[in-house]
Amino acid sequence: MAAKVRAHVYIQGRVQGVFYRDWTKRLANSLDLTGWVRNLTDGRVEAVFEGEKKMVKKMAGECKAGPKIASVSHVDVIWEKATGEFKDFAIIG
CB of 6 closer than 8 Å to CB of 79: yes
The answer to whether 39 is a known catalytic residue is yes
Given the residues 6, 26, 29, 39, the one annotated as active site: 39
The model carries a pTM of 0.95
The answer to whether 38 is a known catalytic residue is no
Class of domain 19-91: alpha beta
Mean pLDDT by 10 residues, the chain (93 residues): 90 97 98 99 98 97 96 98 97 91
Domains of the chain, by residue range, sit at 19-91
Given the residues 6, 14, 21, 26, the one annotated as active site: 21
Question: Is 44 strand, coil or helix?
Answer: coil
Q: Which helix (H) or strand (E) holds 22?
A: helix 20-30
pLDDT of residue 3: 85
